[in-house]
Structure formats: structure tokens, C-alpha cells
Structure 1
């Protein structure tokens, strides 16, 4: 697992003992001089100056920012499900409650694109945020709203505190914002930002260290959760590997190895783009038969001339209990209990082997073709459960999957 979590020591916007109001006046003078092209009375911090250069080049309007429409609620829900941040939301909120319980500050969690996915705070600060368009679904990237703790933390990949006139857009000068990136410990990629925002005079240097520490704690929790998922995958894969009689290994969707048999030990394999069940060439393993497992893949190293395996899926409906999905792929058998909506989707895909678009699924499920955002959110959840059994564009079962719909035995 990646340990690429080293960050520079974050630099507070203001030092202990400084008067926030006096310092804000200095920053306003620096900001006005920078916008008018006059000689600067002081230099902005490097992280701020670099951000001002980026957003000026991008053409962000310092009076209004860039016009943008927030995501609709369905798309916000879809992004929440796909962000990887939902599992740490409770921890982030609980550990930063000390900063928002007084009602002055707003807690925000944004995704890797800078879109606000969750926010919480007292009624007064939420109303102030609404007036700025600082709402769920809004983009807080630098290209949309200029220098700010969310967008600048994403670009700089470090914790950032932005105070008063350090914000590029003038309407944000009454705010102070502190943001820290959250990285996926499996890849080192930034997957989101945790941010605390409030009135500019409420700034405190210690806020930056606290927010950064909470972001690091979230990363540690993601790392522990990943290890737990690998352990679960290993428990499923170990008996299958023992019966395989040939080189094979089990990996998670990112290629991290959970179990291996008749191959040299390794931590990770690099999976091709658009990886799915079937025959694939996987790094130094060469040709592999790829079969889905709950939470990952079974890779059987094969002779290139061998025939790829087929995965059998049986949808078993029931009138007096939950429906089940039975998956059997060369001995790798497992069962899923789908929700009624997911069972409905699977039945539709079984009946349309050539696939259905999001609009077509929407028409079948809801009687109208315009609920594609909801469909994509449901398909995202379903594909996480079934791995490579399902593919997109259009949505359908993978080519190596044979599907049967069967009534429950009586």
C-alpha cells in the first residue's frame, strides 16, 4: 500500500499574537495593489501568490468568480457514493465538532474536483454560505471561485489556510477558510478536501494543524479499511487458490494482492485500463483469465492458447424471502443479496444482452427517460458489488457472463 503521504509543514495565514483586523487591512492593501498593478506593500505568502497567478491566468473574475451551476441532488448523491469519502465522514465530523459547535464555522467535505458533497454548521453560517453559493453541489475549484482553501489545497496538495483578502474573489474577503487534502492511501491520489470556514476575525493558527491532523486521521482509517477488505478477499480466495492447481492470485480492484499461490510473493500488480472479466494481459504475469470475486478479482495465469473461462450468474427470485444472485466462475462461487431495485436492474440487463443506455434503463425503471443521474448512481453501487460482471456504454453483462433468471425452488 502506498505510503506517499508526506506533506510539507502547513503554514498558518496568521501568527499567534497578530491582530486579525490589522493583518486583514494589510492583506487588503496587498490585494488592491496586485489587482491594480501597483507596487506591493508586502509580498503574499508563496502558496497564495502562486494561486493568484494561476487564477489570473485562468481569467477568474475577482468581483464575481466564474459562473457555474451547482450539481443537481442526484449527481451529488452519485459523487458521494463514488468519492471514497463516505466511510470517513463521521470521523471527520466528530473530530472537528469543536470548531463548528459554537455556530460560527462551517464544515465542508469536497471531492477531488472541488465540488461540495457535504456541509454542516449552524443556521446563521449556513445562510451566509448560501449567499456566496457555498452550497452542496457547488464547485469550489480555483477555476470557479479563485484562491480558496478547497481549490488551493487540491492544486497544491497541502493543507492551506486562506484569510480575508488572500481570497481572490472580493466577496470572500470576510471569510477565513482552512482546508486539507485527503489522499487515497492505496494510490496517493487526492480524493477530497476537508474544510472549515467562518468569519475572518475568527481565524486561529491552531485551526490549520487540527484540520490537517483530521485529514491524516481519515487517511489512516481508509488504510485500515483497505487492509480489512484485503483480509475479507483473502478469506474468500484462499480455498479457491488451493484448488486451482495452477499459478493464480487474488487482487482488489486496484491490483493490491490479497492472496497468491504458485507465484513469487508480490504486493501489487498493475491492472490494465478498462479492466474487466475475461482474458487480459496483466503486467509481468502475461495472459490471465480474469474472474470476479466479491471485492476483487481472481487472476489465473494461463497459456495464451487456452480458452477463457465463463462466469455463470443465476438470479433467483423469491416470494417469501430476499432474492439472491449466485455467481460461479470456475469454482469461485459466491452469493449476493440484491435490493429490489438492483434485482430489477439485473433482470432488465439479463433480458437485454446487447445492453441498455442510462436513458433506456430510466424509461424501464421509472417510466421516463430523464432520470439518468439516478440510474448512474444505482449502477455505480451495483457495479461496486458485482465487479467486472457488469460493463458500461451501454450497461450490460460482460461478454464472458452467462445469465439465467430462475424462480426460487418450491
Structure 2
């Protein structure tokens, strides 16, 4: 049943049906209508995490100074005009509000209908509030952070009972430079004011915001290229100018590379980088000048740690003789690296395509993603077949409950792994 369309035609009936589904499912009974998969899975996470559906828990608000600091430092600040133009005028007229939260689910901005803003105050949906899913239950801010896709939560689909008169639609905003989640934009209001097209509307505006970030990034690379050109022209040997995220603006003495992996704590001096080996790192306005040194790499056993403990944030840490670094992973890269830990002897593109999509012919997508992974893992990841370096120690940190393993993944191999460990459907009797 299309609940969005039903809510638009008869909000009272929709709310009653959703409440029946919610009460039956949370009581371990089979409802007449099954909850949508994204909602059922979220409720399962809440029950396993001990969130009380009858208790409106709110953590302490951030101070005004901390909210202002986060606003100043957030890349979301760059897309505020896009979000306001795309959402705010319609939201205000339709008695909604626009809510913008950071990657941690902290509300940074909210604007829109004054009447709805007052209702939001009663729910604790205000600047500085923590709206992570594992704090306030299934909702249009915290749930998109976990599943990394747009989610609409109607009335009784909220896990916490006090939120069931509310409906919210949120879409994640992904930084195009590194695939990192930087926040969520949400449109919220009473159930009777929502429209079936709200989900597509909010998602399209989030995509416009990402396109704006992409254009701004390209402009910054052009500026860096102009700064680096005189220095590169004077150099012999291999060198490149990259921005703070490792995107190449200019290259000399070597084939062009689009991006290389950089440690978060990179500083000037002699450094070892997985993709290049030993380098001399010099600061540039807006980035770094990397001069490749033709020296042997430090010897020793590297250690690779794949951290899948948190369903909303996966990370990779490499501890090598020449230095250590960590990186937050996109959901797709987390899937692929997990699959390689399951196949230490190696896995070809066709096998990974079958694992991810149930279709061994989708090798082009797999090869493109593996190429991106090799940019930051360098020689620690071999190909033909894809596999970790034979001397590397590889450790995987898995969640306590197997149902929380890569919850966004629908890949057949990941699904089988969850089921084999006892992670079947979370709520069905």
C-alpha cells in the first residue's frame, strides 16, 4: 500500500492504520499490513539497542556557542542558499519546516512555518538537539544517517510514541569529494500536511546541493592548479599538487592520477603515502605539493583494520611501518572490503559483482569502485584477482548483533552472512 498517497487522501485513516501496524509489530504479532522494510529494519535496531518506545528521551542540547561553531565549520553552510531556495518557500506555505542536521544527527538549522516550529519545540526538534536514530528512535533525520538514502517516516512509523503525530522526510547529503556523509536535510510537519511527492522533492533538492558542492570543488581545484603551476614547472622528477582531500590539480613527470589517499594528519616533511611511497610534502595555498622520492619503502608487516561496529559509520585503519592513517568508508567501499576479508585468497570482479548484485555481469561497476579503493590502499590491495597484500594482517571489527552488519547492504553475500550468524528478519514472529 502506498502510505504517502493514502495519507494525502485520508490522513486520519492513514494514522490509524499505521498505529495498528506499529502496536502489533512491536508486540511481536503479525499486523494486517506489514511495515515497510526500511521501517521494520529500523524498529529492529531500536529494540536491539534498548530504545524505549514509550519514553521520550532527549539528550542535552548543545550550547549556543557549540551550535555556532558547528555551523561555521560545516560544509553544509555552503549549500544553505540551495536548500532554502529549493525547500523553504514551499515548506512554509505547506505548513512544514526545513531541518538541517550534521552527520552526527545534531540539528544545526531549522526554518519554516512558525506554527510548526512551535510544535517542533514540543518534540525537542530544535537547534543543538540530538536526533540520532539510537537516541530518539526511527525518524527522518537519524534514520537517513544510518541507511544513507532518503527516508519518509509517517506518523506511527516513528518508534517513539510521542512522535506519532508527526511526519518527516529526510535525505542525506553526501560530500562528492570523498563520499562522506556531511548531513541530512529534512522536511517535517503534521501528517495531514504531507504530500506523496515530498520524498522525491526533498531528495532532488539534496542532489542539487551535492551538485553545488561538486561545482565548488572543481573551482577550488582550478585555483590550486594556478597556484601550483609555477612550482611544478621548476621541478624535475615526479610531483603533483593535490588539495586537502587528495584530489589532483596538476601533475608533472608521472601519469595523471585523479586522487590519492591522504592521512587526516598530513603535515609538511618526509612522509610515506600508500599510493606514492616516500614523498616530500610541502604546503600550498589550498593543498599540498607532493614530491615523490625514489627510495625503497620501509619494511615490516602492515595491519589493516576494517571497523564495521557502527551501522552508520564504517572506517578503515592502516598501521604500517612508515606511518598509520584512518579513513571513513562509503557504504559501497565497506561492502567490497568486507567481501575481500571473506575471500583472503582473492575474488575476481565477476565474483564480487555476484556477491553485491546477484549478477556476475556487472563487472564494470565493481572495477570502477575497486579502482577508487586502490587509490588509497595502494599496494596493500592487489588485483587479478582482488585481494589484500599477502603479508598484511587483516582484522574485521563486527557488530555484536549480526543484523547490524552493513544494514544498508542488500548484497546477496552480505545477506547470507547476516542470516548465517542468526541475523534473520528482526521483528516477524
TM over 0.5: yes
1:38-92: CA deviation from partner (whole Å, max 9, x where unpaired): 3322210001000000111111121224341111122212222332110001110
Runs of 5+ unmatched residues, structure 1: 1-10, 306-410
Q: Max radius of gyration: which structure?
A: 1
The answer on 1:283 being equivalent to 2:274 is: yes
Kindly tell me: are residues 156 and 26 of structure 1, through their superposed partners in 2, closer, same or farther at Cα, counting changes over 3 Å?
same
Kindly tell me: are residues 20 and 254 of structure 1, through their superposed partners in 2, closer, same or farther at Cα, counting changes over 3 Å?
same
SS state of the match for residue 219, structure 1? helix
Distance (whole Å) between structure 2 residues aligned to residue 100 and residue 284 of structure 1: 47
CA contact (8 A) 1:280 1:290 kept: yes
Aligned ranges for residues 119-138 of structure 1 at < 5 Å?
119-138=110-129
Q: Which residue of 2 aligns with 1:149?
A: 140
Q: Which residue of 1 aligns with 2:16?
A: 25
Runs of 5+ unmatched residues, structure 2: 297-429
Alignment match of 1:46 (pick from 20, 37, 48): 37
Distance (whole Å) between structure 2 residues aligned to residue 65 and residue 190 of structure 1: 27
Alignment match of 2:210 (pick from 216, 219, 238): 219
The answer on 1:163 being equivalent to 2:163 is: no
1:166-188: CA deviation from partner (whole Å, max 9, x where unpaired): 00111111111000011011111
SS state of the match for residue 284, structure 1? coil
Deviation at 1:100, TM superposition (A): 2.1
Query: TM-score scaled by structure 2?
Result: 0.66
- Shifted more, 52-61 versus 210-219: the winner is 52-61
Q: Which residue of 2 aligns with 1:230?
A: 221
Query: TM-score scaled by structure 1?
Result: 0.69
Deviation at 1:303, TM superposition (A): 4.8
Q: Which residue of 2 aligns with 1:373?
A: none
Q: Which residue of 1 aligns with 2:4?
A: 14
1:266-307: CA deviation from partner (whole Å, max 9, x where unpaired): 1011113421111111223221111111111111113559xx
CA RMSD of aligned residues (A): 1.8
The answer on 1:241 being equivalent to 2:251 is: no
Distance (whole Å) between structure 2 residues aligned to residue 133 and residue 36 of structure 1: 27
Deviation at 1:165, TM superposition (A): 0.4
CA contact (8 A) 2:64 2:128 kept: yes
SS state of the match for residue 5, structure 2? coil
Equivalences, count: 295
Q: Which residue of 1 aligns with 2:177?
A: 186
Distance (whole Å) between structure 2 residues aligned to residue 186 and residue 248 of structure 1: 21
Q: Which residue of 2 aligns with 1:260?
A: 251
Q: Which residue of 2 aligns with 1:377?
A: none
SS state of the match for residue 101, structure 1? helix
